[in-house]
Amino acid sequence: MKKEEYVSEAIKLAFEKHKDQKRRFDGAPYFGHLERVANLVESWFPDNHDWIAAAFLHDVIEDTDVTAEDLREMGFSEDTIYTVVSMSKNRGEPYIDYIKRVMGCFGSVVVKMADLTDNASDLPPKYRDKKDKYELAKFLLKPRWDIIANSLGSKDL
């Protein structure tokens, strides 16, 4: 499957599963967040369709009824699935444990950095604690990002 077709399938699934969801902080359609995250990933790694697809799907397991097996049956690659699974925070999982798990998958590091960048960009001032949490996560992920960016030739954040 060509990159455009592969990513298009991810877009369709993400839109369908998140179409009624709104952003917690501003009530905007949730899909806009997914688009911004995917656009960032594509700007950093334009040839990696697995990571671009995963950016669109990064919350589909955590926030909908989709499972990893569903993604497999739909024809998504193991790289895309592993990235999405690694990005899916489990209920009750301490945030630091979640970030450590994200660090174990290059695709998850890339998508999470884009996710954190977008999340922090539009937070109202009253959510300073969230912004601090996002900045700490970016700080923890940055050394891994540097390895990925240097080895794959991406721009800096």
**Predicted confidence (pLDDT) per residue in 62-118, tens digit:** 999 999 999 999 999 999 999 999 999 999 999 999 999 999 999 999 999 999 999
Determine the topology of domain 3-152 in CATH. Answer: Hypothetical protein af1432 (1.10.3210)
At 25, the pLDDT band (50, 70, 90 cuts) reads confident
3-state secondary structure of 29: strand
Residue whose entry in the numeric block shows the structure tokens 């950016």:
55
State yes or no: pLDDT of 22 exceeds 70: yes
* pLDDT for residue 27: 83
Q: Supply 140's token pair.
A: 């923890």
Q: Supply 112's token pair.
A: 């999470």
**Could you tell me if 10 and 56 are in contact, meaning their C-beta atoms sit under 8 angstroms apart?**
yes
* pLDDT for residue 153: 77
In this structure, the chain runs to a length of 157
Pick the closest to residue 17 from 51, 79, 77, 61 (CA basis). 61
Residue 99 CA to residue 93 CA, distance in Å, equals: 10
Tell me the residue type at 9.
E
At 4, the pLDDT band (50, 70, 90 cuts) reads confident
Q: What is the pLDDT of residues 117-141, one digit of tens each?
A: 999 888 888 888 888 999 999 999 9
Q: Which one has a higher pLDDT value, 154 or 24? A: 24
* pLDDT for residue 61: 95
Mean pLDDT of 42-71: 96
Pseudo-torsion of CA 17, 22, 54, 76, nearest 10°? 0
Reported pTM? 0.92
* pLDDT for residue 155: 63
Q: Supply 122's token pair.
A: 């539009």
